Structure 1
Amino acid sequence: MFAGFQGLIEDPILLLAIVSTVVGAFLIVAIFNLLISRLEKRGDLKKGKLVHMRRFFQIIIYAAAGFIILSMLDVNITGLVAGLGVGALVIGFGLKDIIENWVSGVLIMSGKTYAIGDVIRVGDLTGTVTDIALRTTKLKTYDRNEIIIPNSVLMREKIINLTGGKQEAVASLTFVIDYTVDAEKAKSIIENILKNHKSVIFSAKKKREIRFIFRNREWTNEIEALFWVNDPPNEEFIKSNIAELIHKEFKRKNILPPVPALMRKEYMTGQKMDS
């Protein structure tokens, strides 16, 4: 190692190579920062992402430059790392998850999987993205809980982005009705309420239409309605209000929920059958 430093003093070419490596590292970082600044001005990246991306990239470039310089100085990097022994192994395992999360964070930020403000579904969790950092992503659920998810977990999970834009999201409601009820009549009621609801977007031109999925069961029929809402963070509250309106209209129009056959006549007439 000391021989390498001695060679540095005696060999001006080696000194020039090291200086060039340092200058090159600074130039690469400067070019990267310029690129990030342009992306920021274009609106492709948000400020929250920039700080973390710059920091991560600088660490990688400067670390690479450091290893190159040590190699020029004839420092046995492999022996140096091996000499750390068990300590290096422990540190390596400790840093594994951190590095994995950082890499995942950079991939998420550089891609367009989701952005701050989007409503996403990860497994059983659904919420609004409030922050994207290098190591974690924060979601706020509909019950106002904040969930912090490691980015490495997100990269392994199936992510469904429910947001069709900054202020749009796909929502769904499922209604279970008795098998004797006219399904078309039920769908007509659902569609009419959805089209006239202030929080539902309906535009055939923009392909924001109401669609239905019909499922026939043994004693019931299921009707799932898919529609667009204009306030993704409050989707659950909107769905709750719509469901209440539809159930009231169902009751008014005698759209029965699933009921046992012996009780069907009683339910429809509101009179008790003779025992």
Structure 2
Amino acid sequence: MITFVVIRILLIFYLMNEFFTNHTENIYILIGVTIICVFLFIALNKVSKRIEKKAIEKGYSDFANLNLINKIIKIGIVLFYLFMVAYLLADQSEFNIIAINIKKTSYLTLVFIITSVGYTVSNTLFNRIIKRKDNPTTVKFLKYVAAFIIIVIGIAFAAMAFPSLKSIASTALGGAGIIAAIIGLASQEALANIIGGFFIIMFKPFQIYDTIKISNEMVGTVMDITLRHTIIKDYNNKMIVVPNAIINKEKIANYNLGDKKYCQYIELSISYDSDVDLAKKIIQEDCEKHPSNIDNRTKVDKLNNVPKVRVRVISLEDSHVAIRAWVWTSEFGLAFDMKCDLLESIKKRFDKEGIEIPFPYRTIITKNMNTIPVQNESIN
């Protein structure tokens, strides 16, 4: 048993000695490559930490792109090292295949690095410009366009590493009519959204930070306009994503377009027994005293003693008299709070002055009916 183990050890040493003798030069090269790769790893980590430190000093906190580039470079170094090991220690008959794979992998890694760097630089430059702009609508949109172009170019250059894709593409073009129809149907919606985004940026029906209402249903603030969709934050703090093709077809009320002043209706109902003149006076006084109310009268209106807040009876309904006040605010965002305040204060004044706000009445009539005794008959 001991003899067998000794023989195996001697055989291993012999084979290793023969291997080292045949690959002495390659082993030294491999040791050098290993040292270089380790040095690159250490240098890359130090450079990344130094860049992060300087970025933090300048106020940056998002390092997602930097970390992505760091990982891609490390993967490239590992792949390069593995291919060098295979190339230096493999048989000569496999050199051509390994060399081709090394070139292809190095090319793809280089394309990924350049694309990532281009994407990061583009985003950084646009973000700096966005911080200086009061209204960054156009710049943000161009940021997404630039990122899209960089990614598409990167994918195109990466595809060039695979010559077989050309043959596949030419084969697929044999059924050009069917493929064109499929591509047309598949890309119709995406293309409509992209074109819709360009129309929004060109004609500017709304911009970022504008408050808009869509189809009399959804009200919110525009937070972002991308190639595909528009993001709106409603008053429940929810982000609503609306495709650009859809939003271009809808009726939009933009509260920031043109004159920002907003007229808020304050509508109340009083009973027919209440004093209409007193009710109008109370409504007018409370509306004029509210701090968000502004004077929207013209010089002619002031000369003619037109009241600051107009109050009118707008309809006589079956059970109440409807009264409306037209109250102006400097912007749409103040209108809702003002309306709530006025409804509360006017209700309290009505209670003190004895003005009734009608509510549904129900008259219940009961009748006393003589009960008639019923005899139960059994049927045999």
Q: Would the aligned equivalents of 1:127 and 1:233 in 2 still touch at CA under 8 Å?
A: no
User: Could you tell me which amino acid in structure 2 is paired with residue 252 of structure 1?
Assistant: K
The superposition leaves residues 11-69 of structure 1 with CA deviations (integer Å, 9 ceiling, x where unpaired) of: xxxxxxxxxxxxxxxxxxxxxxxxxxxxx9xx99932323425765997xxxxxxxxxx
2:213 alignment counterpart? 121
- Could you say which structure has the higher strand fraction? 1
Q: Which of 21, 42, 46 in structure 1 is aligned with 2:135?
A: 46
Deviation, 1:220, is: 1.5
Q: Would the aligned equivalents of 2:296 and 2:328 in 1 still touch at CA under 8 Å?
A: no
Provide the C-alpha distance between the structure 1 equivalents of 2:178 and 2:340, rounded to a whole number of angstroms.
57
Question: For structure 1, which runs of at least 5 residues remain unmatched after alignment?
Answer: 1-39, 60-79, 264-275
2:187 alignment counterpart? 95
Deviation, 1:199, is: 1.8
Runs of 4+ in 1 over 6 A off after TM superposition: none
Provide the C-alpha distance between the structure 1 equivalents of 2:357 and 2:261, rounded to a whole number of angstroms.
31
- Residue 227 (str. 1) matches residue 296 (str. 2): no
2:318 alignment counterpart? 218
1:248 alignment counterpart? 348
Q: Secondary structure at the match of 2:138?
A: helix
Q: Which of 196, 203, 207 in structure 2 is aligned with 1:104?
A: 196
Provide the C-alpha distance between the structure 1 equivalents of 2:254 and 2:316, rounded to a whole number of angstroms.
29
TM-score, structure 1 as length reference: 0.59
Deviation, 1:231, is: 5.1
Q: Would the aligned equivalents of 1:127 and 1:142 in 2 still touch at CA under 8 Å?
A: yes
User: Could you tell me which amino acid in structure 2 is paired with residue 89 of structure 1?
Assistant: A
- Residue 236 (str. 1) matches residue 336 (str. 2): yes
Higher RCO structure (Cα 8 Å, ≥6 apart): 1
The superposition leaves residues 99-146 of structure 1 with CA deviations (integer Å, 9 ceiling, x where unpaired) of: 212222222222242233332221211222233333322222222222
Q: Would the aligned equivalents of 1:128 and 1:139 in 2 still touch at CA under 8 Å?
A: yes
Q: Secondary structure at the match of 2:137?
A: helix
Q: Which of 170, 176, 180 in structure 1 is aligned with 2:273?
A: 180
Deviation, 1:85, is: 4.9
Deviation, 1:156, is: 1.6
Q: 1:177 to 1:139 in 2, by over 3 A?
A: farther
The superposition leaves residues 230-272 of structure 1 with CA deviations (integer Å, 9 ceiling, x where unpaired) of: 4533543332222211211222222211246799xxxxxxxxx
Q: 1:233 to 1:262 in 2, by over 3 A?
A: closer
CA RMSD in angstroms comes to: 4.1
Q: How does 1:135-174 map to 2 (within 5 A)?
A: 135-163=228-256, 168-174=261-267
Number of aligned positions between the proteins: 206
- Could you say which structure has the higher helix fraction? 2
